Structure formats: structure tokens, C-alpha cells
Amino acid sequence: MAEPVCERLALIGVGLIGSSIARAAREFGAARHIALMDSSPSVVARARELGLADLATEDHAEALAGADLVIVCTPVGVCGEVAQKIAPYLPKGAVVSDVGSVKGAVVAQMAPHLSERTRFIPAHPIAGTEFSGPDAGFAMLFQNRWCILTPPDGADASAVEKLMAFWTRLGAKVETMSVAHHDAVLALTSHLPHLIAYNIVGTADDFGDETRSEVIKFSASGFRDFTRIAASDPIMWRDIFLANKDAVLEMLGRFNEDLSALQRMIRRGDGQGLFEFFSRTREIRRSIIEQGQDTAAPDFGRRSGN
């Protein structure tokens, strides 16, 4: 196996992403030593039981000792608080990153607390499931998934190179882009779909008990897919929508315009217009499959039993 990308990896937060990074880093030899830190004693205890790392602790100083790569894997809403807490213990020269689905807010919250800002390289692995916690992670989560890096102006080239090599070793495809562009793209491809899913499932929940039970009993595949998305961590998604509200509201406005156009087609009996619209959207689905970001097989990405 190739030499590790980093000597000592420190992960702050042991949820789905943090525990998956730990598993993948061990599986693919990305780090010689792995330390996990979480503020929850029960999470730390479970991480130890699972053998996720060489060290699992509630202590920032202990986790960060000697680390040359530190990745914050907490909800975006607490990234600033976490950065403030880890700052006194960061070894000189360590690369610091995160995994948040929003980048502008994360940079604004974290950067002011970091003394070596050129070695702060925000990142977003576009991978996940609706499950959370240390038991939810798995080593193959990042295989053939995109990880977007958003290096700040003047970022240390060696830090970017190291983080890129780390995510590549975990199986991800890596690309860089600006913070603003990332947040606009993800507002459409991730944040808006989650908002729609939460809303649709919430609408079903608004029905009376009898109708709601029928919705659950006779759920078609489309509704089931929405419920899977809507089962995602509510704390994480609350923070994402608040942190990226401008981009989300812009995309929501565009969505509402398109929805109004569909309403008019249905009201007017415009079958040709509906057919052309559905044909265009079908091509987007085919393109996603062709690029390897999904497969036509059912239950893609699900593990047996989940």
C-alpha cells in the first residue's frame, strides 16, 4: 500500500461523515494515526467500541496533538464555535478543513479564529445517507463521489495538494471552485431538493389520521424516495438552510416560477408542453447516470438492511 497522505489525522465530530472518513482513512491507508474527538461522551464511547480510530476522546488538546490534518465534521451551525475551541491546540503547519454543505458561512465563522488562514482549505464531500451517528459510517461512502475544495485567495498550494491527495485516496473525485459558486450550485442540486422533500412529506403529515395512514400504506416509489431524503438529520439541515439562505431563496424563486408554468400547462390541457418538459428533464437523469453519479439499478447507494 502507498505511503499515508498524512501522519496524524484529527477528526472533530463523529457522525456519518466523520466516522466514514475514519473508516475510509484506515481502509485505504490515508493516515498513519487517526484521532477522533466528540463532545458527547456516549458518542466517544461508541467510537471506541467500534474501534474507529487509534484514539477517541472528548479532549481537544489530546485529539489535536501532533496532527498535520484536522477535519471539522460538525454541523455548519457550530463550526465557528468549534474553530474557536480547537485554535489554541492546532499544531503549527497543520492543514485545517471541514465537510460542510455550505461554504460561505463556514469560512466566515471559522477563518477568524485560525492563525494560519492560508492552510484552511474548506471542503465538501458530496456524499451521505439519511442515517447519522458513528454507526452509520462506512468506508466506501466516498467512492466515485465528488469532493469540492474551495481554497481561499492566497491559499497555501501544499495544503491544497495535501487535502486533494487525501480525498483522492478515500476514493473521491476532487474539484476546486469558489465559495460563492459552490453555494449557488449546491443550493440547486442539494439544498432545494431537500427542502422540497421536507415540504412534501410535511404535506402528507398535515392530512387527517385516516388519510395519513393510507399515504403511508400505499406509498409509491416517488413518495418513498422523498421520505428517505426527509429523514436526514434535522439539525444539520436546519443549519444549512439558514447558512445558505440567499442562494436557497433564489433557487426557490426559480422553482416556483417553473412550478407555476407547469400548473398553467395542466390547467390548459397542454399535453405537448408537458411532454416536452418531461422529455427534457429525463435527459438530465440520463446524463447523471452516464457520468457515473448514479445508476439505473434500484436502491443505489443503499447498504443491505438499510
In the chain, the amino acid numbered 273 is G
3-state secondary structure the chain: CCCCCEEEEEEECCCHHHHHHHHHHHHCCCEEEEEEECCCHHHHHHHHHHCCCCEEECCHHHHHCCCCEEEECCCHHHHHHHHHHHHHHCCCCCEEEECCCCCHHHHHHHHHHCCCHHHECCEEECCCCCCCCCCCCCCCCCCCCEEEECCCCCCCHHHHHHHHHHHHHCCCEEEECCHHHHHHHHHHHHHHHHHHHHHHHHHHHHCCHHHHHHHHHCCCHHHHHHHHHHCCCHHHHHHHHHHCHHHHHHHHHHHHHHHHHHHHHHHHCCHHHHHHHHHHHHHHHHHHHHCCCCCCCCCCCCCCCC
Per CATH, which fold does 6-177 belong to? Rossmann fold (3.40.50)
Q: Which pLDDT score, from 0 to 100, does residue 3 have? A: 95
Domain ranges of the chain: 6-177, 182-290
Task: Confirm if 155 and 118 have CB atoms less than 8 A apart.
Answer: yes
Q: Which pLDDT score, from 0 to 100, does residue 300 have? A: 42
Q: What are the residues facing 34 on neighbouring strands?
A: 9
Question: 154: which 3 cell numbers?
Answer: 492566497
In the chain, the amino acid numbered 5 is V
Q: In angstroms, what is the C-alpha Rg of the chain?
A: 21
Distance between CA 114 and CA 188 in Å, rounded?
30
Nearest residue to 31 via CA among 2, 73, 63, 51: 2
- Please give the CATH architecture assigned to the domain spanning 182-290: Orthogonal Bundle (1.10)
Q: Which pLDDT score, from 0 to 100, does residue 301 have? A: 41
27-41: per-residue pLDDT in tens?
A: 999 999 999 999 999
Q: Which pLDDT score, from 0 to 100, does residue 223 have? A: 78
Q: Which pLDDT score, from 0 to 100, does residue 86 have? A: 97
Nearest residue to 47 via CA among 39, 61, 59, 36: 36
Q: Which pLDDT score, from 0 to 100, does residue 221 have? A: 64
Q: Which pLDDT score, from 0 to 100, does residue 62 have? A: 97
Question: 109: which 3 cell numbers?
Answer: 465563522
Q: Roughly what angle, to the nearest 10 degrees, separates helices 245-268 and 192-206? A: 60
Count other C-beta atoms under 10 Å from residue 153's C-beta: 6
Region of 3 (left: φ > 0; alpha: ψ -120 to 50; beta: rest) is: beta
Nearest residue to 95 via CA among 35, 155, 145, 39: 155
Q: Which pLDDT score, from 0 to 100, does residue 210 have? A: 62
Q: Which pLDDT score, from 0 to 100, does residue 129 have? A: 80
The CA-based diameter of the chain, rounded to the nearest angstrom, is 67
Q: Which pLDDT score, from 0 to 100, does residue 304 have? A: 37
pLDDT tens for each residue of the chain, 306 residues long: 789 999 999 999 999 999 999 999 999 999 999 999 999 999 999 999 999 999 999 999 999 999 999 999 999 999 999 999 999 999 999 999 999 999 999 999 999 999 999 999 999 999 988 788 999 999 999 999 999 999 999 999 999 999 999 999 999 999 999 999 999 999 988 889 889 888 888 887 777 666 667 766 766 667 777 787 888 888 888 999 999 999 999 999 999 999 999 999 999 999 999 999 888 888 877 777 777 666 666 554 444 333
